[in-house]
A and B are shown apart, each in its own frame.
Chain A
């Protein structure tokens, strides 16, 4: 199985900050990498697919990059609604594993 490792596990930041979350795959997944945002008590929401393609309707504050094994999610200028937990996920092959999550909290 492909293991997905996110860092950091938690992050404190302020409104207006630029933040970056990283995700590493245990083997090459090309660009079959997706990012999701989850708020407490809610279902996950797709932000980015294919490593760098913004899902329709998602704010341009979010961007993704990377390929093969190393990927990043960047939020350019944090807004109050961005404080949530973020997950990466590989969709290269089954099982479609998720990273352990990064909880983004207000400083």
Chain B
């Protein structure tokens, strides 16, 4: 079925790195831009980054710019988020989400993966 499945979360110490993955199935992965969105415990949603359908364009929230890198492998239908120099304030559930294209709404979400920096 059409779905996104995140993995790679865990507990790390400040300053360490982590790589999240988001595996897609059931749709033409290479046709869609994709986003990472995070949610700190008890808080609202925060957009993190977006990558275009072909990987050529990437944009980041100021809070992660220079530390996080979004990438994709269209041959494997997988989205990645490389997170370096992690801080306690990066603690959150990280969701990947598909960009609907025309209006850039997020029409498909994964179940989320939890990252704890402590």
Contact: A98 with B105, CB < 8 Å? no
> Which of A34, A53, A97 makes the CB contact (< 8 A) with B106?
A34
Give Cα A53–Cα B103 distance, bound, in whole angstroms: 10
- Are A95 and B62 interface neighbours, CB within 8 A? yes
Q: Is the CB of B35 within 8 A of A96?
A: yes
Binds B, one of A14-22, A42-50, A70-78: A42-50
B16 within 8 A of A: no
Interface residues on A, range: 20 to 34
Q: State how many residues of chain B have any CB contact under 8 Å with chain A.
A: 22
Residue B95 CB within 8 A of the other chain: yes
Complex interface: stretch among B39-47, B70-78, B82-90? B39-47
Contact B103 A32 (CB under 8 A): yes
Q: Is the CB of A36 within 8 A of B106?
A: yes
Measured between beta carbons, the chain A residues less than 8 angstroms from B79 are none
Q: Is the C-beta of B111 less than 8 angstroms from some C-beta in chain A?
A: yes
* Separation of A50 and B104 alpha carbons in the complex (Å): 9
Residue from the set B37, B46, B103, B109 with the largest chain A CB neighbour count within 10 Å: B103
